[in-house]
Chain A
């Protein structure tokens, strides 16, 4: 038998044999203990992530950073993302582009705000802003003899939760443009309990830690292309929904309702809402999923407890009872009004999202900006990429709890794009301005160089425009102390406006707020 026969033999493996091996991993579980273990591991990874920062490793640059490269390699536990350049969807082509950035720290100045104390007395306290006001101006010139219609794109980093605060205003010639908000995919990565890329485990989210993470995400253009292609259509397959209402028990303290059913994961995937414990035996397919019964006056009392079976319905299930945290001598009897219906998946996901937003997230403002369908689309994407509807379910989402999916969808970082139409006349020019608030990138107290706040800016990443001129101006400089930078601002010489090299990819500014000025 020759080597090529071995190769050929492997090619002849049947699809039926291949399909299970190419499907999602099915690992043996240790029932009853996994939730506590996951919690411990989650805590562990938090500490593991902190370790290099606690030890003063490669976190945030200090005033002693000797080179831009060293500063560029710095990582942050809370990274706010860089200020990106404007781009044009059709391609910048022959346009001449000039960019002028203004960083205004005036909001860092202390101010007095009045309040009425409990005893009715008028008092005041001192406060200040912690966000930088950025004004990102562009002068676009059309050197041709043809008028040009442009689709402007302005990228910025935010999450759905922070969108209302961080959303830029885009204007042209002083007039605010009507802009569409297009969210990209989430930019968080995943890691195992211990940060170990080799394990491939996906238990904890790992947000971007430096501008280089964004460079990796954006430089091939696929992320932007995907974001601009709009929301994915929502899944409309018919699913079976079990609702558990009026749950009651014979146990006076901490009764738990458990639904027991047998699942073939090849045929049925289980999503749930309101449930918060789960045991699954991969060998037998036996699933136990449950929730503690809400007590009188508890906010969960009106929570819809939903079990959603995607794919094949189960033939039977059993309701069993127990007492949370205790082995009981007496059997605990539970009962609930269970209704079963079939409906499109998008409908039940919409119901859950609305309930989730009303309970756990300040959703109204975000909803008014992007709409329910857009958030649902992002959540469905997560469900398909790593959630229970994926072929490779991440450890993080193996419970099928929709709270995890919606919570991560709303809180994870992503690049949003503001898309607006504008025209630039032949041989004419157009002034475009983006105004935005920018959070600092920082490390937490006690971790690395926690006294320094970083603001990053990139000059070319993701942009089709070619900039011939780039300047930066700093206002309110008396309220900050510059610790490190590669702009060239000189507070001693009161040099607050500098020309920058448009071909230098990355600029950074490390500051500390002055307590008094």
Chain B
């Protein structure tokens, strides 16, 4: 079913909205949550919370990109669950992924204005070639492993590693050019 029709079902308060969302995006959301939590049961709960979140926020929202809207909900819910769980269960892939960025960018304690961050990250992404942009987001937004990314884009793991390294360096330069102290 097209996204507009699913959103219309939410606005009609039809429970079929959840079912159609599950059918179309359930696997995607589950894999995203699983990347963060590495627990099928936790991921299942987070995906269910995503459906509840969508039900509670549409209306008043009418997301133009439902896929991104749902993934954003799942990511936030899963990261919150991850924080809750992290004392006992650490997911190496999620940590490794974030540490790659922290080690490159978070080298001091100078706070940054939120609006500047939003503009800079999106202009940085605009500057990347399509494939490199997607690989960057799959790694640092979706927490895919290097192997998963290589399989997804049909290239070697070393190529993915190399593209990510260059992207991180470029992001660092881009932030510095924007007046951010990294």
For the complex formed, measure the closest distance between the CB of B60 and the CB atoms of chain A, giving whole angstroms: 17
Q: Which residue of A lies closest to B63 (CB)?
A: A15
B62-74, CB under 8 A of A: which get 1 and which 0?
0111011101100
Would B121 and A12 count as touching, CB distance under 8 A? Answer: yes
Q: Which residue of B lies closest to A5 (CB)?
A: B112
Would A22 and B71 count as touching, CB distance under 8 A? Answer: yes
Q: Which residues of B contact A200 (CB under 8 A)?
A: 148, 151-152
Would B130 and A20 count as touching, CB distance under 8 A? Answer: yes
Q: Which residues of B contact A31 (CB under 8 A)?
A: none
Q: Which residue of B lies closest to A220 (CB)?
A: B44
Asked, given contacts A1-B181, A12-B114, A12-B122, whether A6 binds B24 with beta carbons under 8 Å apart, the answer is no
Q: Which residues of B contact A23 (CB under 8 A)?
A: 67
Q: Is B160's beta carbon under 8 Å from chain A?
A: no
Chain B contacts with A in 150-182, Cβ cutoff 8 A = 151-155, 175, 180-182
Please tell me the number of chain A residues within 8 Å of chain B, measured between CB atoms.
39
A179-220, CB under 8 A of B: which get 1 and which 0?
000000000000000000011110000000000000000000
Pick from B1, B27, B67, B117: contact of A12, CB under 8 Å: B117
Chain B contacts with A in 130-163, Cβ cutoff 8 A = 130, 133-134, 137-138, 140-142, 147-148, 151-155
For the complex formed, measure the closest distance between the CB of B43 and the CB atoms of chain A, giving whole angstroms: 13
Chain A contacts with B in 1-46, Cβ cutoff 8 A = 1-3, 5-23, 25-28
Q: Is A235's beta carbon under 8 Å from chain B?
A: yes
Pick from A6, A20, A237: contact of B134, CB under 8 Å: A20
The CA-CA distance from A16 to B68 in the complex, in Å, is 8
Q: Which residues of B contact A373 (CB under 8 A)?
A: none
The CA-CA distance from A364 to B117 in the complex, in Å, is 63
Would A1 and B69 count as touching, CB distance under 8 A? Answer: no
Would B71 and A18 count as touching, CB distance under 8 A? Answer: yes
For the complex formed, measure the closest distance between the CB of A360 and the CB atoms of chain B, giving whole angstroms: 27
Q: Which residues of A contact B142 (CB under 8 A)?
A: 21-22
Q: Is A403's beta carbon under 8 Å from chain B?
A: no
Would A25 and B153 count as touching, CB distance under 8 A? Answer: yes
Would A6 and B122 count as touching, CB distance under 8 A? Answer: no
- Which among A55-63, A287-295, A384-392, A404-412 touches the partner chain? A384-392
- 29 interchain pairs (CB within 8 A)? A1-B105, A1-B106, A1-B108, A1-B110, A2-B106, A2-B111, A3-B106, A5-B106, A6-B105, A8-B117, A10-B140, A11-B72, A12-B114, A12-B117, A14-B125, A15-B63, A15-B64, A15-B65, A15-B68, A17-B126, A17-B137, A18-B72, A18-B137, A19-B68, A21-B138, A25-B153, A26-B153, A201-B151, A392-B28
| Chain A positions near chain B (C-beta within 8 angstroms) | 1-3, 5-23, 25-28, 198-201, 229, 232, 235, 237, 381, 384-385, 391-392
